[in-house]
Chains A and B, each alone.
Chain A
Amino acid sequence: MIKILIVEDEEPISNLIRMNLTKAGYQCRCAFDGKEAADLMMVNPYDLILLDIMLPKVNGYELLDYAKSLDTPVIFITAMGTVENKVKGLKNGADDYITKPFEIVELLARVETVLRRYNKAEQTIQILDIEVDVPSRVVMQNGEQITLTLKEFELLLLFIRNKNIALYRDTIYENVWESEYMGESRTVDLHVQRLKKKLHWEDKIVAVYKVGYRLEA
């Protein structure tokens, strides 16, 4: 199981991240100041560290250096969304950043991406009756390969990573098409319909009234 250390001094935010990552199947540990985080890192190896920059006792940047010396990937969380701050974090060796306030979907996506980069994420995902090989983009169902387009595959991945979470149409659009949602819901609906048909998941991907869709697993 993948172990993630959450270093955040604000208890509500720390809990928020922990609850969501736990639901997504990660094992989480919370540290509320820099010193506590360093102590934990020394004892246990972690697969990923989510790090707030403004921390009591030990500064986030110092902690970043320490994490880098242990070869642990780091995503830093910052309230200061200036380019300068992001660049400073990335230059110091952070793998990615999340600016407060963030959405759950974004948090999960960034965590997943960084883990995959370090080959720590599961290469194959088994869910319901399908098996997904993420790097080679192959989807197998009952020993048969299902042919999916690029967008359909990404849509499937989004549903799998956010299983049991209602995904809003704009969230789906922004994550799969990577541009701002302008209200043209047909694109999302069409792709979801095709995906459902190809996988015979008519009862698995359910429409949520006035919201979007949810994968029930």
Chain B
Amino acid sequence: MKFFWKIFFAFTALITIVFSVFGIWLITQTFQNSLEKEIEKGNRENRMFQLAFEVNMNSLSENYKTEKIVSELAESVIANLDSDEYSYKIYGRKQNLVYQSSELTLEHALMNQLGDASCIYQVLESEGKKYLIFVCKSEIGGRTFYLESLKDITALYMERDGFYSQYRVVMLALILATGVVVFVLSHILTRSIVNLSNTTRKLAGGQYDVRTDVLGDDEIGTLALDFNFMADNLTQKMTELEEAARKQEDFTASFAHELKTPLTSIIGYADMLRTMNMNEEETMKAANYIYSQGKRLESLSYKLLELIVTKKQDYQFRQIPIKELTEQVLQISENNLQKKSIICHSEVEEGFVLGEHDLLISLLVNLIDNARKALPENGEIWIYGINKPDGYELTVRDNGCGMPKDEIDKITEAFYMVDKSRSRKEGGVGLGMTLCSRIIEVHHAEWYITSKEGEGTTIWVIFPGQEVAHEKENN
């Protein structure tokens, strides 16, 4: 059963029960009150009748107390009482009828039940009518009389039944009215739930951009808010995962390409060498290609290895003196730089960076190597190292060919090369900047790149100060 109908039926049932119980209680209470008043009144009337009868009987001398005189006396007493609502009867000691004011006679055993009580009553039913009957006993001069007064109270019961039937109509109208109200109310209450449920179904069905409306700030409103929050987070996570999967796929595809390209040449030229009669020039050419493409594979495997190493290892960071490190790197790069007659200026302040020695060497070598690849013969490279309040800033600048602005974001993607053919000639495999980006990440450092076509590229690397580095390391 739907929650909507549950609310509807629960409320309707509750209201019906409450009103019925209350109504029945009210009517019954009213009726009881009237009945009690009637009984009190009847009692009083009976008392009066007894009193008047006894007074008159006592004033009568003993000799006149015959049945006929008693009967006449009773008649005059009743006439004096002036209450025609009641009919009176007088019985003798043996319950023999002495006098009756009307013919109406009802069977009852009150006279036997009387005992020592002065007056008792009973409600009797006869021929569809209700009667209230009172009996009391009078002892007058050794004689016993039973005095009976009777009243028709059918009207009282009729009135109650009238109330009941009226109340039934009122109840029905009431239930209908509240039914409508409850229907509307439960619709309003469940609307946000239905809304939420529909949205959830849509989300489950793959529409990840749907959000539910937040109606009000009650529990359901909060739930809707939480739901939206959850959906946002989920979508974001999913986008991230998709992005990661896409990157992984791109990496695999690029990797396959980078691996198969040199392999194609190596296999192809080797196949030619073993199957064909080639002249010396052709043989030389083929052998050269096999050598250079083999070298390319070698550098690809080295770079990949470096990349894998940066991903896996848990590093022990130490204080690395940057000036000494830079000098070391320049020694490593010297040979390659001299081949192109590149001049390298270095102005590095004494300072320390919390990091891993080999990774930092690799970072600097790659940055300088990238600058070298972008430079023509006789180009220049500047290396600056400055102590900053919040860390150490290392800058590598060249006056080489630079790159367009929209390429800057892509250069850290694996196997991405701004100028493929030039990079290839310089022996690049497209992993240098990916590696740098990894190393910078490991060191919790930041980097910025600016570049202008034809003017050169500048890369700033900002290493965090000791406290910051420690803090990030612990996180």
Contacts and interface: CB of A to CB of B under 8 A. Distances in A.
Given A56-B420, A166-B275, A103 B261 contact: no
B271 interface: yes
Interface in A9-59: 9-13, 15-16, 19-20, 23, 32, 54, 56
B261 A104 contact: no
Contacts, number: 74
A101 interface: yes
B271 A103 contact: yes
A165 B278 CA distance: 10
A12 B272 contact: no
B265 A165 contact: no
B257 A19 contact: no
Contacts of B277: 164
A23 B282 CA distance: 12
B117 interface: no
B170 interface: no
Contacts of A104: 268, 271-272, 275
A78 B374 CA distance: 29
Contacts of A56: 420-421
B276 A165 contact: yes
Contacts of B256: 79-81
A79 B260 contact: yes
Contacts of A9: 420-421
Interface residues of A, number: 27
A9 B268 CA distance: 16
B264 A13 contact: yes
B225 to A, nearest CB: 42
Contact of B421 (A32, A80, A164, A165): A32
A100 B275 contact: no
B261 A13 contact: yes
A101 B263 contact: yes
B274 interface: yes
A118 interface: no
13 contacts: A9-B421, A15-B289, A16-B264, A23-B276, A79-B261, A80-B256, A100-B261, A101-B263, A101-B266, A102-B267, A104-B275, A164-B276, A164-B277
Question: What 5 pairs across the A-B complex have the smallest Cβ distances?
Answer: A12-B265, A101-B264, A79-B260, A100-B264, A79-B257
Interface of A: 9-13, 15-16, 19-20, 23, 32, 54, 56, 79-81, 100-104, 164-168, 211
